[in-house]
Chains A and B, each alone.
Chain A
Amino acid sequence: MDYPLIVDVFFVLLAILAVVSGWRVFCTDSMVRASFFLLVSFIAVGVIMILLAAEYLGVAMFFMMAVEMMVMAIFMVMFMMNPAGLNPMMMVHQHKFSIAAGAAVFVVLAAVALLAEFPDTPLPGDLDPVKSLGNELLGDSMLIFESAGIVLLTTMIGVVVLSSHRGRYGAAEEGSMPPGLVPGGDPAGMPEENDEGGGHHHCH
């Protein structure tokens, strides 16, 4: 394919940016900084994707990662000691194992990159990747797409169940009880005390 030299230059610069900021994630003391270094890394990758003509995916990457890293930063700050890194600390654990794992993954990926035979079919010039993506979503992959919707709905419900403190029937830790069907009656929809049939005991 024919492309100007400047694309190569930008690719190299962005690749360096992605790797360096990815590395900085592990050497900064502040959780918030770590999250946003990761964001920078993802943005660099996103720009590379745009350079590779995957315009929608690249821009979507900015979008998704900005939101996701923001949420990650929030949760980091909520649950980690010393979230701002006022005292220095080590961000990495299990050094030997992680070095070995990192090296192994690098070798495997590098091998894939070098040894695999990539298809060399040039794309048609008038291809509109966004359009083909849309047609795919409405065509062959419709079922996958819709089931993804259902899966995400389950995720949402799971999230709400796990994290919401304020249930429909009162605070979660008080063992929220639905109100009775008659005033002062037993909670509605609760299983009987001696009923052991609930859920996971049934294996088959």
Chain B
Amino acid sequence: MIVSELILPVLLVTFVLVLGAYLVAVLDEAIAGALGMPRATSVWTAPLTQGAWLLTQQANATEAPDWRAWRLAPALYLALAAIGLAVVPFSPTLIPTDLVTSVVLWGSVEALATVVIFLHGWSANTLLALIGAYRYVALGLSYILISMFVLIGVALPAESLQFSQVVASQEGLWNVIRQPLGLPLFLIVGLGMTFWGPLNLADSRDLAGGTASAVSGPPRLVWNLARAAMLVAFSGAAASAFLGGWLGPWLPGPVWMLLKMLAVLAVLLLIGRLVPRVQPERCVTLMWVVFLPLSFVDLIWAGVEALL
């Protein structure tokens, strides 16, 4: 019992998180290469060599940082990614933690991520990192409502706040078809949570790296790792909320789940490379005035659909 309920889930989450983060880096390199960016080393070793270099680099400090928060923030972000992945079911029986309210827990991971990312930029006590941190809060507080609406939308037909029930409710038809607005909106949330691509307001180029502009060496490695891990966790949530999780013919459930996660990751990384960074002020307006009403529509659609 200990093995199946404690050791196996812990191993599973750690393994998927680490492997997934590595795959995110590989996939991103591959997409960059395919889009014509110059790449010398092979995509398979590039993340490893980059990681090795960061491990040998000295960790930077700033004049008067908030030490504890500064070092804790990357680790906590990684922990949040782990929680996010832990609630994702891989098969009807293989669920790391099957909480009754796992959908709400996923929402609180999003809220707590905002806190952690803010802390990462705030603690450095440097101008560019600070601007990145405050900018991220504007984004984080904007996408959270969209995420709530979209996730409530998938909870309606499942009559439950449990991811495993959400997946089970998609037996007949996947939510991606049943609620066509849901997945696109949720992908925006994913880009926001990991401040990736168009929503990279925190660590952007116009801030010389933003919240990460003052960190180097191992803390930066953990930060990058955590970002990639969060993408993996998000892809897990998206795959189970919209793509029918473990459901699928021929192959065993967990394999389907991993394939779907990879598909979500590929889409996210592609968007990250193709769309420019949104201007912060415009981003907030877009979130509240365009995407939030759209998520209303999604919820109403889901509600009507669930009753029919």
Contacts and interface: CB of A to CB of B under 8 A. Distances in A.
Direct contact of A and B (CB under 8 A): yes
Interface of A: 30, 32-33, 36, 39, 55-56, 59-60, 62-63, 66-67, 69-71, 73-74, 84, 86, 128, 130
Given A70-B118, A71-B141, A56 B112 contact: no
Top 6 closest pairs, chain A to chain B, by CB: A66-B111, A62-B108, A63-B108, A59-B104, A66-B112, A59-B101
Interface string B181-217: 0000000000000000000000000000000000000
Given A55-B99, A67-B144, A130-B100, A36 B137 contact: no
A84 B129 CA distance: 15
Interface residues of B, number: 24
Contact of A67 (B64, B66, B104, B141): B141
Given A32-B122, A70-B115, A128-B100, 16 more contacts: A32-B119, A33-B66, A33-B69, A39-B115, A56-B101, A56-B104, A62-B105, A62-B112, A63-B111, A67-B114, A67-B144, A70-B118, A70-B141, A74-B134, A74-B137, A130-B161
29 contacts: A30-B66, A32-B66, A32-B119, A36-B119, A39-B115, A56-B100, A56-B101, A59-B99, A59-B105, A59-B108, A60-B104, A62-B108, A62-B111, A62-B112, A66-B111, A66-B112, A66-B114, A66-B115, A67-B111, A67-B114, A70-B114, A70-B118, A73-B118, A74-B134, A84-B125, A86-B64, A128-B100, A130-B101, A130-B161
Nearest to B64: A86
Nearest to B102: A59
A38 to B, nearest CB: 11
B9 interface: no
Contacts of A130: 100-101, 161
Interface of B: 64, 66, 69, 99-101, 104-105, 107-108, 111-112, 114-115, 118-119, 122, 125, 134, 137, 140-141, 144, 161
A126 B158 CA distance: 18
Q: Find the residue from A32, A36, A59, A84 having the highest chain B CB count within 10 A.
A: A59
Interface residues of B: mostly helix, strand, loop or mixed? Answer: helix
Contact of A63 (B64, B104, B134): B104
Nearest to A30: B66
A73 B117 CA distance: 13
Contacts of B64: 86
Contacts of A67: 111, 114, 141, 144
Contacts of A66: 108, 111-112, 114-115
